[in-house]
């Protein structure tokens, strides 16, 4: 479904991604793990059109995204839940969700999808008239995910969904990611909590300073001594 081929990305003179290549197949959960500054968020921003590669290509269902802008990429079926949630704080929960469907014209289906989001995240239904900025961190994360789901993505990309959340909420968020995937959405996940990410993913890639240094079946990487030492605290 998605493939990055020898992608190089720069921030001015800083070489952030150094020839990255990886694939995401339809129906999978694929996770990118690595320490801070490894290039994980840069990778996601490049896929969603917020950054453009200087060299190499990003392909989604055989279309080259390398120079396509972000709104067009959303319309093609990729939705990005950014690090730090980025919800619209002065708008209500339901208005935030409506904005997720901004590019859609199918009013009845939008209504049905709103209902689906409220079923996935019952807390949002309770808070639907509340200003998004007054929600707790966990509720804001649910809203950011719900808003992304409202665009009916074929590929959902998530950047650090567990950041700053209590362990119980982290578990809940990861169960919902699995549920979204089981309902037919492919997921690419960037996550600091490597153990949690590897436990739900099919495959994983390990990034270090802008390069992929390890890849493989997520369960195998969970058992790998190298990964345990570097990312799982053991």
- The mean of the pLDDT values for the chain is 91
Q: Which domain holds residue 17?
A: 1-76+196-234
Residue 160, domain member (yes or no):
no
User: Does 52 reside within a domain?
Assistant: yes
Residue 138 lies in a domain: no
pLDDT of 101: 85
List 20's β-bridge partners, or say none. 7
Kindly state whether residue 15 falls inside one of the protein's structural domains: yes
Q: Is the CB of residue 174 less than 8 Å from the CB of residue 180?
A: no
pLDDT tens digits for range 215-232 = 999 999 999 888 888 877
Is residue 174 very low, low, confident or very high in pLDDT (cuts 50, 70, 90)?
A: very high
What the block records as the tokens of 53 is 């590669």
For residue 57, what are its two tokens? Answer: 């290509």
Mean pLDDT of 116-139: 90
Instruction: Identify the CATH number of the domain in which residue 214 sits.
Output: 3.40.50.300
Higher per-residue pLDDT: 157 or 103: 157
DSSP 28: -
22 occurs within a structural domain: yes
For 47-67, write each residue's pLDDT tens digit. Answer: 999 999 999 999 999 899 988
The answer as to whether 162 is a domain residue is no
| CA distances (Å), origin 175, targets 19, 189, 197 | 33, 13, 11
Q: What proportions of the chain, in percent to the nearest 5, are helix, strand and coil?
A: 40, 25, 35
Q: What is the rounded CA–CA span in Å between residue 50 and residue 42?
A: 9
Residue-wise pLDDT for 36-48, tens only, equals 888 999 999 999 9
Question: According to the model, what pLDDT value does residue 233 have?
Answer: 65
Choice between 179 and 229, residue whose per-residue pLDDT is larger: 179
Q: What pLDDT score was predicted for residue 16?
A: 95
Confidence at residue 181, expressed as pLDDT on a 0 to 100 scale: 96
Domain assignment of residue 3, yes or no: yes
Backbone angles phi, psi at 97, to 5 degrees: -65, -40
Tell me the angle at which helices 167-182 and 107-120 cross, rounded to the nearest 10 degrees: 140
Residue 137 neighbours by CB under 8 Å, 6+ apart: 164, 165
Residue 38 · residue 211 · CB < 8 Å: no
**φ/ψ bin of 77: left (φ > 0), alpha (ψ from -120 to 50), beta (otherwise):** left
Number of compact structural domains in the chain: 1
Looking at the domain assignment, is residue 212 inside a domain? yes
- Give φ, ψ of 149 to 5 degrees: -65, -30
Q: Note the pLDDT of residue 234.
A: 52
Residue 112: predicted pLDDT: 84
Which residue carries 């002065």 as its tokens? 90
Torsion angles phi and psi, residue 34, rounded to 5: 160, 165
Label residue 73 by pLDDT band (50, 70, 90): very high
The residue that leads in pLDDT, 231 or 205, is 205
Confidence (pLDDT) at 3 = 96
The predicted pLDDT at position 165 comes to: 83
Looking at the predicted structure, is the pLDDT value of residue 8 above 90?
yes
pLDDT band at 163 (very low <50, low <70, confident <90, very high): confident
User: H-type helices in 68-129, by residue range?
Assistant: 70-76, 93-100, 107-120, 122-126
Distance between the two ends of the chain, CA-based, in angstroms?
Answer: 34
Residue 104 confidence class, pLDDT cut points 50, 70, 90: confident
Strand bridging mode 29-33 / 155-159? unpaired
> In this predicted structure, which of 6-10, 64-68, 106-110, 143-147 has the lowest mean pLDDT?
106-110
Span 205-215, average pLDDT: 93
């Amino acid at each position: 479904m998605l493939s990055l081929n020898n992608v190089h990305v720069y921030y001015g003179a800083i070489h952030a991604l150094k020839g990255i290549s990886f694939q995401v197949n339809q129906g999978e959960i694929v996770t990118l793990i690595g320490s801070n500054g490894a290039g994980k968020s840069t990778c996601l921003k490049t896929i969603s059109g917020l950054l453009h590669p200087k060299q190499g290509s990003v392909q989604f269902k055989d279309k080259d995204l390398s120079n396509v802008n972000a709104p067009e990429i959303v319309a093609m079926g990729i939705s990005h839940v950014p690090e730090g949630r980025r919800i619209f704080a002065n708008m209500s929960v339901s208005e935030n969700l409506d904005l997720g469907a901004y590019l859609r014209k199918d009013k009845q289906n939008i209504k049905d999808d709103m209902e689906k989001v409220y079923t996935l995240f019952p807390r949002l239904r309770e808070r639907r008239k509340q200003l998004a900025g007054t929600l707790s961190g966990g509720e804001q994360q649910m809203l950011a995910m719900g808003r992304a789901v409202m665009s009916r993505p074929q590929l959902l990309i998530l950047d650090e969904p567990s950041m700053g959340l209590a362990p119980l909420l982290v578990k809940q968020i990861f169960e919902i990611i699995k549920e979204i995937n089981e309902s037919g959405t492919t997921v690419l996940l960037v996550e600091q909590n490597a153990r949690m990410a590897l436990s739900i993913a099919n495959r994983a890639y390990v990034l270090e300073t802008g390069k992929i240094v390890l890849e493989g079946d997520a369960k195998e990487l969970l058992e790998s001594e190298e990964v345990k030492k570097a990312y799982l605290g053991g």
